């Protein structure tokens, strides 16, 4: 029997990268999965790759009505959900001097407010249905600064502390909901590849990022998904408000 038999997971950003890997790993351990993404075609591909026990939904994490529709899809298809994994996010280059307000607001709306909306939606549903587990994807960039990733660093730092506030709120109110954050380092995902491609010299940018990881090897989405699996399982029943770094030793260097 899988570690998540009888559980239902709503995974955002499930069209690719860490989100898709997470949807697959949770399903492999017996969970029913709602694969949610603004890229509905990509979410459909994830669902097709998994097979039975998964449904794909369109979700714009910046829109409250879209969140409500995704939660309703989980309820109507599987009777609800007891796991939320907030993977959706965007990565934009820019210093404090050259990041314009529109870009800043967009990063905050997706990465921070999108995660906040998901947590609120999950709490509304889970608190009356036996509790559950929330995992928010932050980043090592939410723990250390990078002058060229100003908005991204600020957003992921906010997700880190949002997670702790959510965890405490749920404990203090007896909801039975745990909330933890995962902090990936450089992971080989389409989001990271697309970021490289948008730079003037993509190969030089990749070499720079390789220098952040001891040994120069990027992590794989499945490396992060396996940590998420632990955090949403009953094995982590006493793990709450905590942060987990998966960066190949980058922060240790």
For residue range 70-125, what is the model confidence (pLDDT) as tens digits?
Answer: 999 999 999 999 999 999 999 999 999 999 999 999 999 999 999 999 999 999 99
Instruction: Domains for the chain: give ranges and CATH numbers.
Output: 8-244 (3.40.50.720)
Q: If residue 44 lies in a helix (H) or strand (E), which one and from where to where? A: helix 40-50
Of 78, 116, 152, 244, the catalytic one is: 152
Tell me whether residue 152 is one of the annotated catalytic residues.
yes
Query: With 80 as the cut, is the pLDDT of residue 1 above it?
Result: no
Q: Which residue has the tokens 């090592």?
A: 140
Exposed/middle/buried for residue 37 (C-beta within 10 Å: 0-12, 13-18, 19+): buried
- Name the least confident of 31-40, 104-113, 185-194, 224-233: 185-194
- pLDDT on residue 253: 79
When pLDDT is averaged across residues 21-45 and rounded to a whole number, the result is 98
- pLDDT on residue 34: 98
3-state SS, residue 242: coil
When pLDDT is averaged across residues 153-181 and rounded to a whole number, the result is 98
151-155-157 Cα angle (round to 5):
120
CB contact at 8 A, 8 and 27: no
3-state SS, residue 39: coil
Helix pair angle (114-126, 64-78), 10° resolution: 40
0.75 exceeded by the pTM? yes
Distance CA(41)–CA(239), nearest Å, equals 35
124-128-133 Cα angle (round to 5):
70
């Amino acid at each position: 029997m899988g570690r998540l038999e009888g559980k239902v997971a709503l995974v955002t950003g499930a069209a690719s990268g860490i989100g898709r890997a997470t949807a697959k790993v949770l399903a492999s351990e017996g969970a029913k999965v709602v694969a949610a993404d603004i890229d509905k075609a990509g979410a459909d591909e994830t669902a097709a790759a998994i097979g039975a026990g998964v449904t794909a939904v369109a979700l714009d994490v910046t829109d409250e009505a879209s969140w409500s529709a995704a939660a309703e899809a989980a309820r109507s298809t599987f009777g609800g959900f007891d796991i939320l994994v907030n993977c959706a996010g965007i990565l934009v280059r820019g210093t404090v001097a050259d990041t314009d307000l529109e870009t800043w607001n967009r990063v905050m709306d997706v990465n921070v407010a999108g995660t906040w909306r998901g947590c609120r939606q999950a709490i509304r549903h889970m608190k009356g249905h036996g509790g559950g587990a929330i995992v928010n994807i932050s980043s090592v960039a939410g723990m250390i600064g990078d002058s060229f990733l100003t908005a991204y660093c600020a957003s992921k730092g906010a997700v880190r502390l949002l997670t702790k506030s959510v965890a405490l709120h749920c404990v203090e109110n007896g909801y039975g909901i745990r909330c933890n954050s995962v902090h990936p380092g450089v992971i080989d995902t389409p989001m990271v590849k697309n970021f490289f491609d948008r730079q003037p010299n993509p190969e030089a940018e990749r070499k720079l990022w390789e220098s952040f990881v001891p040994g120069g090897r990027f992590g794989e989405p499945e490396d992060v998904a396996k940590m998420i699996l632990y955090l949403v399982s009953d094995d982590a029943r006493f793990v709450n408000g905590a942060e987990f770094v998966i960066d190949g030793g980058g922060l240790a260097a």
